[in-house]
Structure 1
Amino acid sequence: MSNDTPQMPGRHILLITFGTIAALIGWDLLSDYNEGVEPLHVLVELTVLLLAASMFGYVLVRMIQGRRQLNQMHTRLDSVQTESRQWRERYQFTIRGLSEAIQEQFEIWQLSKAEAEIALLLLKGLSLKEIAAVRTTGERTVREQARAIYRKAGLAGRSELSAFFLEDLLLPDPEAIPDRE
């Protein structure tokens, strides 16, 4: 992400700094004005005041936008999590059966426990780097274990591993296909 992330560190410090500068210069301007200080001096201080106030406003707006983005992300995440939970509840029996079938196939392929775990993470779409982080091991180790999985299964790689388990799930319903006779 860019510097525009909702949690950019230091925004509160910038807000306080620019607010303090603007307030102090404003106070100094009032006292200078009452004392009859040169107009050029007042103009310079007024320029700095406007700059500090502008930066205060800019940082404040960015913080508000960041908070809105964060709230939108949380709302979307909550929605996706709810939808995912509902889907899992609705298809719990199917998911359990598929999970058991996958485990049985792993046993047929004689995958070790670690290889079976990596194969599941590969099926879930995690990268080798992410799998290494989840398993607190090196990426090179995960890569070698993935190669062993593909070799034992007689598959060329990740896409064939996924296709092995998912290909038949994508078959169309024969009843839903219109007759072309």
Structure 2
Amino acid sequence: MSFLAELKDSKGGRPAVLALVVLLQTSAAVFFVANVVNEGSEDGLGPQLWMQALVTLALIVGVVLGTLELRRALNHQQAQDATIAKASGEMHQVIQAQFEAWHLSTAERDVAYLALKGSDVAEIASARNAAPGTVRAQLSAIYSKAGISGRAQFAAHFVEDLLAEGLPGEPAAS
């Protein structure tokens, strides 16, 4: 995998790529400014030097715009991270409140969290150092207390609130 592909695949890849581009452009701009100043002091301002100065100015404008875009991208990423963290915290509170309403024991809460995360019985048993039969019994107790018949309904119970506003493109309920 190339260096740029690795940057794109990393968390926040777009800002990392933009930072690299801005750094390269800044280095080139410094080189060209020094070149224009050096040639201008030696040979005077001829048409070729004017063209080099214009291209250098365009590069500097590109550096400024790239820096502004990088800042915008970083701010956008921070806002998204904050939104995700808030939603995650709120979802945790919703789950916790529902577990309390169902009067789940501490062990049942642990099993329920792992089930919501998608772990199967064997994975839950391994994580809790319990027998698979014990986990199945705890899942049955959880489903009974929740008034549902299985894992799909259990997960759907928590997703239902997230989808309360309907599907994208679906007319809003009146």
TM-score (norm 1): 0.48
TM-score (norm 2): 0.50
